[in-house]
Amino acid sequence: MQTKILLSEDQMPRQWYNIIPDMPGQMFPVIHPGTLQPVTPDDLLPLFPMGLIEQEVSPQRWIDIPEEVLEVYKQWRPSPMYRAHQLEKALGTPAKIYYKYEGVSPAGSHKPNTAVPQAYYNKIFGTKRIASETGAGQWGSSIAMACQHFGLACTVYMVKVSYGQKPYRKSMMQLWGAEVFPSPSDRTNAGRAILAADPDNQGSLGIAISEAVEDAATHEDTRYSLGSVLNHVCLHQTIIGLEAKEQLKIAGDYPDVVIGCHGGGSNFAGIAFPFISDKANGKDVRVLAVEPASCPTLTKGVYEFDYGDTAKMAPIARMYTLGHDFMPPGIHAGGLRYHGAAPLVSQLVHEGVVETKAVHQIACFEAAVLFARTESIIPAPESSHAIRGAIDEALLAKEEGKEKTILFNLSGHGHVDMAAYDAYFNNELTDYEYPETAIKESLSHLPKVG
Q: Give me the 4-33 binding string for a second copy, x by CB under 8 A, dash otherwise.
A: x-x-xx------------------------
Q: Which is nearer to a second copy, 316 or 368 (CB)?
A: 368
Among 196, 250, 362, 419, binds a second copy (CB under 8 A): 419
> CB 367 → a second copy: shortest distance, Å?
13
Nearer to a second copy, 123 or 279 (CB): 123
By C-beta, is 179 or 351 nearer to a second copy? Answer: 179
- Residue 93 or 142: which CB sits closer to a second copy? 142
Residues 368 and 381 sit within 8 Å (Cβ to Cβ): yes
Within 353-372, the residues that bind a second copy by CB under 8 A are: 369, 372
Closest C-alpha to 351, from 280, 262, 261, 291:
280
For 221, residues 6+ apart whose C-beta sits below 8 A from its C-beta are 126, 127, 128, 129
Interface positions, 31-60, toward a second copy (CB under 8 A): none
Query: Contact 187/211 with Cβ under 8 angstroms?
Result: yes
**Residue 151 has what DSSP assignment?**
T
Q: How far is CA 29 from CA 20, 75, 214, 268, in A?
A: 13, 37, 22, 22
Nearest to 226 by CA among 332, 235, 239, 246: 235
- Please identify which residue in 376, 427, 437, 444 interacts with a second copy, judged by CB under 8 A: 376
List the interface residues with a second copy, window 158-197 (CB under 8 A). 167-172, 174-177
Which positions from 80 to 99 touch a second copy by CB under 8 A, shown as an x/- string?
--x-----------------
The SS3 of residue 391 is helix
Q: What is the spatial distance between Cα 313 and Cα 393, in angstroms, rounded to a whole number?
A: 40
CB of 131 to a second copy, least distance (A): 20
| Closest by Cα among 100, 99, 180, 188 to 139 | 180
CB atoms within 10 A of CB 50: 13
Number of residues that bind a second copy (CB under 8 A): 41
Burial class, 42, CB count within 10 angstroms (exposed 0-12 / middle 13-18 / buried 19+):
exposed
What's the min distance (Å) between Cβ of 145 and a second copy? Answer: 6
Residues in contact with 228: Cβ distance below 8 Å, sequence separation at least 6, in sequence order = 139, 263, 264, 265, 266, 338, 342
CB of 171 to a second copy, least distance (A): 4
**Binding-site string for a second copy from residue 129 to residue 148, where x marks contact by CB under 8 A and - marks none:** ----------------x--x
CB 102 within 8 A of CB 79: yes
Stretch that binds a second copy, among 100-108, 312-320, 326-334, 394-402 (CB under 8 A): 100-108
- Determine which residue in the list 1, 197, 284, 444 makes contact with a second copy, applying CB under 8 A: 1
Check residue 221 for interaction with a second copy (CB under 8 A): no
Of the candidates 71, 198, 400, 436, which one interacts with a second copy according to CB under 8 A? 71
The angle, 0 to 180 degrees and rounded to 10, between the axes of the packed helices 189-197 and 205-217 is: 140
Among 415, 430, 436, 440, binds a second copy (CB under 8 A): 415
Contact residues for a second copy (CB under 8 A)?
1-2, 4, 6, 8-9, 71-72, 74-75, 82, 104, 106, 108, 145, 148-149, 167-172, 174-177, 369, 372-373, 376-378, 413, 415-416, 418-419, 421-422, 425
